[in-house]
Amino acid sequence: MSKQKNNKSGGGLVFSTNPDFRFQNEEPEQNLLPNEKQVLRIWLERIKGNKEATVIKGFVGPDEALDTLAKALKNKCASGGNAKDGIIILQGDHREKVLQYLQSQGYTNVKKAGG
């Protein structure tokens, strides 16, 4: 005879009276802050192969707005890059261009950070 193991995967239904209840893998919906209230920091980081990357941290808002800003920055700097989790990474040192572009778009609390 074989023994059956208890399946404790948590795949069953869950009921909660807590209005703020979320599943562990469910992220809260982020509202887009106005440009003048965003707190963005521009970093220069060295990645593998001793290459430079401009990193913009601190964006608060949905992924669609982050992708739109990243695409505009990539076009402005004529470089490749990536955006996820509130962080935009651009290939190369474009801190001055990024700072000027963000300020022209109404982001008032933008500073270069790091070393």
Q: What is the mean pLDDT of residues 48-73?
A: 93
Within a domain: 67: yes
Query: pTM value?
Result: 0.72
- Asked if residue 63 belongs to a domain, the reply is yes
Range of the domain at 40: 35-112
Instruction: Tell me how crowded residue 50 is: count the other CB atoms within 10 A of its CB.
Output: 6
In a domain, 54, yes or no: yes
Mean pLDDT of the chain: 84
In which band, very low, low, confident or very high, does the pLDDT at 52 lie, cut at 50, 70 and 90? very high
Give all strands of the β-sheet with 39-47 in edge-to-edge order: 81-84, 87-91, 51-57, 39-47, 109-112
The CATH number given to whatever domain includes residue 46 is 3.30.780.10
Residue 61 located in a structural domain: yes
* pLDDT band for position 15 (cuts 50, 70, 90): low
- 55 Cβ contact list (under 8 Å, min separation 6): 42, 43, 44, 45, 87, 88, 89, 90
* pLDDT higher than threshold 90 for residue 11: no
